[in-house]
Amino acid sequence: MSSLHNIPSVDLADFLSENEKKRQKFVQEIGQAYEEIGFVALKNHFLDQDLVDHLYREVKAFFALPLETKKKYERKEIGGQRGYTAFGMEHAKGRKEGDLKEFWHFGQIPDKDANLTEEYPENVQVTELPEFNKTGRKAYELLEKTGIYVLRALALYIGLEETYFDYWASNGNSILRPIHYPPITREPEKAVRAAEHGDINLITLLMGASSGGLQVQRKDGKWIDAIPKEDELVINVGDMLERLTNNKLRSTIHRVVNPPKEQWSKPRYSIPFFLHPRSDMKLNCLEECIDKEHPKQYEDITAGEFLRQRLIEIGLIKE
Query: 270 pLDDT exceeds 90?
Result: no
CATH number for the domain running over 4-313: 2.60.120.330
Q: Which of 20-34, 142-156, 200-214 has the lowest mean pLDDT?
A: 200-214
pLDDT at residue number 23: 97
Residues 221-238 have a mean pLDDT of 84
Query: 58 pLDDT exceeds 80?
Result: yes
Give the distance between the most distant pair of CA atoms in the chain.
58
> Up-side HSE of residue 297: CA atoms within 13 Å toward CB?
13
pLDDT at residue number 151: 98
Per-residue pLDDT band for 1 (boundaries 50, 70, 90) equals very low
Q: Which amino acid is at 261?
A: K
pTM of the model: 0.88
pLDDT at residue number 211: 47
Q: Which of 91-100, 177-186, 281-290 has the lowest mean pLDDT?
A: 91-100
pLDDT at residue number 99: 60
Query: 186 pLDDT exceeds 70?
Result: no
Per the model's pLDDT, the better-predicted residue between 292 and 185 turns out to be 292
Residues 100-114 have a mean pLDDT of 92
Residues 196-221 have a mean pLDDT of 78
Sheet (strand 194-197) strand order: 194-197, 254-256, 214-217, 223-225
Question: What whole-number distance in Å separates Cα of residue 313 and Cα of residue 308?
Answer: 9
Q: Which residues pair with 235 in a beta bridge?
A: 40, 205
Q: Which residues pair with 51 in a beta bridge?
A: none
Handedness of CA 124, 106, 50, 268 (dihedral sign): positive
pLDDT at residue number 255: 82
Query: 208 pLDDT exceeds 70?
Result: no
Kindly give the residue spans of alpha helices, DSSP state H, lying in the chain: 12-16, 20-36, 49-63, 67-71, 132-158, 166-169, 239-244, 303-313
What percent of the chain lies above the pLDDT cut of 90?
A: 62
Collapse the DSSP code of 228 into the 3-class scheme (helix H, G, I; strand E, B; otherwise coil) and give the result.
coil
Every domain of the chain and the residues it spans: 4-313
Beta strand 9-11 pairing with 39-43: parallel
